Each structure stands twice: as C-alpha cells, then as structure tokens.
Structure 1
C-alpha cells in the first residue's frame, strides 16, 4: 500500500461515525428492541418510533448524550404502560442534550418521563396521561426534570398526576411554555429552582393551577427569579387527591397561582378565573425544619396586571366560608397569610385589584388565629434584573 492510500485509511478510521437513525416498530419484541436502541445509541443518533401502540411491561432508560427520541405524533405513537410491572418511571433520562418529542405515554406505574442531572433537555409535543382520571394511585409526576441546567418544556399535555403534571425541581435556566396541564393535583410546579419562565400555558381543572415553591432539606434550595406570565389558570377546583404526606396534599382545591417561600417572583398578564379558594395565594412554609440554609418566607413577590375573575367564592379553607361572607361574598384576588421575613418586604400588589392578609403571627397558626385585613393596591412595585430568566437559546433551536 502506498503512503497516500495508507494515510487515507488512517484518516477514515479516525473520522467520527455518522449519526444513525434507529427505527422501532410496535409489536412483538418492541420493548427489547427499543431498550436496546436506547443503550446502543451514539451521540447524535435519532431513535424513531413508528406509529402504533407500544405495549410495555417495564420502564425504559437512556444514558447517552445527544440522542433524540421521537415518535410520529402524540396522537399516533403511544407508549402504553398499563401492564407495567413494578412502580418505576416510564422513561428515565440521565444524559445531556437529549430531545424527547412527538409521542404519547399512558398509565406509567410511577412517574411518566423523569430526567435527572440531564442538562439542556427538551420535552416537546408530548402527552403523558393516566387514562382513569384523577386518582391517588396514579404516578406522582408526568413530566419530571430535576437537578438540571437548561430545561425546555414546550407544547406538552399532561393529566392525572397525583402530585404535579409538569414539575421542574432543583434546576436553573428553565422555560415551560405552550403546554396544557389538567386534572392533576398541581398543574405546573416550579420547586427549588431559579431563573424560570412559565408562559403561555393553560392550567385547568387541577387542584392548584401553577405553584412556585421552595422547600427545606433538599440538595438545592433557594428558589427564585421566576416569571409567570400570559398563562390561563382557570377552574382549578378538583378535590385534592394527593397521597397523604405529599407536600401538595396541603394545597387547597380552588387555587389559581400559589407562591410559597420563594423570592423575586413576577406574576403578570395572566387570566386567572373561577378558582374557588383564591386566584393568587402567597404563603410561608409552615412546617418545622432544621435546614439553616432555608428561608421559609416569600420575598419580593410582585403580582402585576392580571385578569382575576370569579374566584374566592367557596374557599377550601377552615373557616373559609365565613371569611368570604365577611368580605362581601368572595375573598379578594390575593390571599396572603401575613407571614413575612422581618428584613424584607414580602408582597407587592399592583394592578387594579386588592387582596386580603390573614395577619397570622407565627408559622403553624390556622384560620382560627386569623385577623383578616384588606390590602390596598399600591401604584408602584420594585423591579429587579430578570434578564437571565428562561431556557438557553440553543434549546429552542432544537424544536424543529
């Protein structure tokens, strides 16, 4: 072999392999073929699910960076976990730069699609549902990214989750948009996360529509810098069906948008209608904790111009009926428990509506200790730099 030919062979052997497409059809052996493709895929590969119903009896997992898993559409490619053994998630992703799109998942025994430590992950045009409707035996989360930097959830539909339909936890640089969450305990929940944008979603017929929480005792705490805008949170009056002991088991039915123990939260340009307890709730974390890093109070929560209609008429709170009657038949749009960090201003209400403070003095007090007073609507609110909020642009570029 001459020198030129030998050099060509060396260059060819050193060149990266071209990305491959692995096509999986439903039918006998589909589970094994699909999991094998998820294991053997190389970065840049695409795993394509054909149309049809994939009957699966075990959870799936992906731990390869840069893989796309896609179906034909969420109406035609269905991953059916009704016969799943055990209680694991339907799909677990633990790798970076993954795109999941265009398929439906039904009835996973545990969570639907969970990603952990998976940076720059995209969930788009997916449906995750439990077909028996609200039920405490359903899995906790439908869409469940956690411990990630760079999360984009776009155009998904979730229903039936016994905790949260769309949950993003302990993460940063997050966008949740253009999605529908219905008949879950929590429709959309941003927990212990920073730099999150929640926009253009519909949260309806959940127990609580949109929740922004911070909890103690987790590896990542200090949630904040969250924008909730241009959403519809309507008719979130489903009775709470979370299993006992879950933090969301304490969310009152009829909650539109709730903020708990978070900082720098901006809520504006939303339509919040017909939520029986309150359109907006701002509360402190009330349980005991021993995490020295944790601040249990809401700080710098701005409720700007929103449309708030028809709410607060049947509060799911002890003594709520009497409170609504005393306030003219309905709780005003903003319900604040009155607890605050003494060093920071906890709540600013702008726009054209007022609220009510329960004026609780200590964590753990109930409605029997409330001394309600009406909050006026000041003309101005503080501003802060929210320019970092939202998913990286490179994630949006993958939505093709």
Structure 2
C-alpha cells in the first residue's frame, strides 16, 4: 500500500509526544507536510517508497509496531524528518535481513532521525555518510542476542560529515562501536547510553567534538578518542569529554579478529590514542577492571607521512575515580604484572618517538587529586619491548593549552 499523504495541519494530532520534547527539528516539522506510512501491507516497501518520494521539508511518520525487514532502506533527500511513534514503540526488525548492509543509510543533509528503534541488523544499525547537519535523537539500536562477534560493527555511525548531533540514543551489542563518529567536524554526543558494545562511544579522525552527559557502561572500553593513519581525513583534535559516567566496562572484547578495536583491553574506561588537544574533565570513572584512563600512541607500523601517532596536548582534571583496577587484561596485562599486579587509575605508555626519530614533547597535564594514581610506562617507542619498561610515577604537568570552545550546531540553537 502506498503511504498516505496527510495535511500538515494534522501533525499536531499525530505526533503530540514528539512535539512535546520541543527539539528544534520537531518544531520545524510542525509546519511541514507529513507522510504517514501505513502499518498495513508491506511496511518495508512502503517506507522505502516514502523515503524515495520525499521532498525537502517533509516529515515521514512511522506508526507504532514491530516491522520486519529483509533488506536495508535508504534516504537521499535533504531536509527530511524520519520519525517513529516512540523510541521503543516503533521497532524496525532486521533479524531476517539477507544482506550484510546497514539497516538505514542516509546520504543527504539536514536530516533528523527520531523516536524509533532498530534491531539485529547484519551490518551497521544506522549509517550516514556525507550528511551534514544530521540529528540522531531518541533512538535505540541493539542486537538482542547479546555481545557477539557476528553482530553489526556500528550502532549509530555518522561519517564524513559536518555538524553532527547525537542525543538521547541507546546502543547495545555493536561489535565495534556503539556510537561512532568518524572523519567529521563539529560534533555533539550527549545524554546517550552505550552498553555491551566493544567500544561504547568512539570519536575517530574527527575535530571539534563535545562528548558529555553520557553513560558508557558494560562495554569492553567505555569511550575512545582515536586517530588512525591511511584515512582520507586524519589529524583528529579538539575534543572535550566531560560529565560522563564511564563505569564497569568489563565485557569481554568480542570484536572480530583483525578489527582495530580488537586490541582494546577489556576493562578500560577511556583511551586517547594519537589524538591531540583533548580535555577530559568532571567525569565519573568507576569499576573498570584494567585502567580508568589510558593515553597511548598508535602501536602498529604505518607509512602515512601525514600521521603523528602520539597523543599530545591532553588535559585531565577534576575527574572522580573509584573501584576497579584489580583484573588487568589484554596486551597490557603482562606490564601490569610487572608493576605488581595492577595499574593505577591513569596510565600513559610513555611513547615519545617513532621510526627512530627524536623525542617529542607531549604536553600532557594530569591535574587530578593527589590520591589519584598515575604511571608513565616509559616505553619510549613501539614496537613494544618489555625490556624498555621504565615506569615513572611522577605526574606530567604540561603547559596549559586553551580549552576548545563549546560546540554550537546550527540545528541545535538551544542546547540542552
């Protein structure tokens, strides 16, 4: 059955719950034409037809219910709102998906995705590429079989975009990262829950990001701020990680072999790798078994001449650290054993050079309470050689850099 076109005057009747949240995109949608996708007949085909026939300014409204999909759907029209009846009321079920692709792919600008759930995709849950000013909100993406290597890699996956807003999103079971933003600029990830993923939240090869008000719990690693070589965009910088709960990230790492996050030690709260100008403050770290914060260089061979593998200009201040640290795992476990069986709350690998070059000043500032433990492993250079272990418990106090300004996005004129 073809979607039914409903007059814009009816929107206030159809979606009062969504409008009550007063999100800017939803306010704008109140004046937009609305396409109601019928729950009757082939819902997946009706939804894809609505996405194809959408025009800029349209809202596509999905009803309450659970709807089966065998293939993914896609949107390539600018300025569209795709809304369900509620985060746990409209459920798109991809357990019968025959391909390996994502559930929903967006390749257009000024899109808002809101108030629905996606389950059990063979590939990524929701991916957007080259989609500027995109908003993900009030969404759940999950794999209901629990943490499995066969789950899709990413739950929410915006990439190669500017002005990305992810808020009030829940992701469970991703075999790479639950919430991942890559090769992008101007990013807010806030008020979301990432649990039982390999990495809870990952900001990779991106600049100007605020990650705050989130709960990253029961992942293998809670929050990752990475920069990798050999990608079109490198040189990640200017990220603020604050007011998050990063707790009990002790789920065994279930990433497929060969995946970069397969090397994340189970029990890690936060990793900053090869990134610069990162500020970590006012977070709660609790009960992470290996280490609460790990600052590390990229430790694999690379040939990208643009790439700097060292973490630098990093500030930690005003965070709270409790519990955990009693069961170090992964490739760092033998090093913890050499230090007496466990790490302190904050660890740096102490790598300051690569490819036989000279030492680089990292400008790391550990501005935490005196009782918060710290160690630099003093490794000097990768590849890892335990013989080079030269631990130092003296805290670095680098020069104070100017903290990045809060991120302001055009689709978010009144930030929460």
**When the two structures are superposed, what TM-score results if normalisation uses the length of structure 1?**
0.91
Q: Compared with structure 1, are the counterparts of its residues 40 and 346 closer, same or farther at alpha carbon in structure 2 (3 Å cutoff)?
A: same
Do the aligned partners of 1:314 and 1:324 also contact (CA within 8 Å) in 2? Answer: no
Do the aligned partners of 1:23 and 1:49 also contact (CA within 8 Å) in 2? Answer: yes
Alignment of 1:151-300 (within 5 A): 151-300=164-313
CA distance in structure 2 between the partners assigned to 1:27 and 1:325 by the alignment: 64
Do the aligned partners of 1:152 and 1:391 also contact (CA within 8 Å) in 2? Answer: no
CA distance in structure 2 between the partners assigned to 1:366 and 1:346 by the alignment: 24
Residue 345 of structure 1 corresponds to: 362
Q: Compared with structure 1, are the counterparts of its residues 244 and 173 closer, same or farther at alpha carbon in structure 2 (3 Å cutoff)?
A: same
Do the aligned partners of 1:258 and 1:282 also contact (CA within 8 Å) in 2? Answer: yes
Secondary structure at 1:256 match in 2: strand
Q: Compared with structure 1, are the counterparts of its residues 99 and 318 closer, same or farther at alpha carbon in structure 2 (3 Å cutoff)?
A: closer
TM-fit CA distance, 1:367: 4.3
Instruction: Check if 1:357 corresponds to 2:376.
Output: yes
CA distance in structure 1 between the partners assigned to 2:108 and 2:34 by the alignment: 18
TM-fit CA distance, 1:333: 1.0
Do the aligned partners of 1:350 and 1:381 also contact (CA within 8 Å) in 2? Answer: no
Residue 10 of structure 1 corresponds to: none
Instruction: Check if 1:382 corresponds to 2:395.
Output: no
Residue 20 of structure 2 corresponds to: none
Tell me how many residue pairs correspond in the alignment.
379
Instruction: Check if 1:148 corresponds to 2:177.
Output: no
Residue 105 of structure 2 corresponds to: 92
Output the aligned Cα RMSD.
1.9
Moved more, 20-29 or 129-138: 20-29
Secondary structure at 2:343 match in 1: coil
**When the two structures are superposed, what TM-score results if normalisation uses the length of structure 2?**
0.87
Instruction: Check if 1:395 corresponds to 2:411.
Output: yes
Residue 13 of structure 2 corresponds to: none
Which whole-Å deviations, capped at 9, do the CAs of 1:330-380 have from their partners, x for residues lacking one?
4111111101253333421111124111111221114454222213365x7
Alignment of 1:98-117 (within 5 A): 98-117=111-130
Secondary structure at 1:396 match in 2: coil
Instruction: Check if 1:335 corresponds to 2:334.
Output: no
Moved more, 357-366 or 242-251: 357-366
Decide which of 312, 319, 333 is 2:325's aligned counterpart: 312
Residue 62 of structure 1 corresponds to: 75
Decide which of 15, 22, 30 is 2:35's aligned counterpart: 22
TM-fit CA distance, 1:167: 0.1
TM-fit CA distance, 1:271: 0.2
TM-fit CA distance, 1:200: 0.3
CA distance in structure 2 between the partners assigned to 1:139 and 1:131 by the alignment: 12
Do the aligned partners of 1:53 and 1:78 also contact (CA within 8 Å) in 2? Answer: yes
Do the aligned partners of 1:158 and 1:180 also contact (CA within 8 Å) in 2? Answer: yes
Secondary structure at 1:373 match in 2: coil
Do the aligned partners of 1:336 and 1:357 also contact (CA within 8 Å) in 2? Answer: yes
Instruction: Return structure 1 stretches of 4+ with deviation > 6 angstroms.
Output: none
CA distance in structure 2 between the partners assigned to 1:367 and 1:300 by the alignment: 26
CA distance in structure 2 between the partners assigned to 1:298 and 1:318 by the alignment: 19
CA distance in structure 1 between the partners assigned to 2:232 and 2:331 by the alignment: 34
Q: Compared with structure 1, are the counterparts of its residues 385 and 351 closer, same or farther at alpha carbon in structure 2 (3 Å cutoff)?
A: closer
Q: Compared with structure 1, are the counterparts of its residues 398 and 264 closer, same or farther at alpha carbon in structure 2 (3 Å cutoff)?
A: closer
Do the aligned partners of 1:351 and 1:377 also contact (CA within 8 Å) in 2? Answer: no
- Structure 1 unmatched runs, 5+: 1-17
TM-fit CA distance, 1:381: 5.3
Q: Compared with structure 1, are the counterparts of its residues 63 and 217 closer, same or farther at alpha carbon in structure 2 (3 Å cutoff)?
A: same
- Structure 2 unmatched runs, 5+: 1-30, 354-358
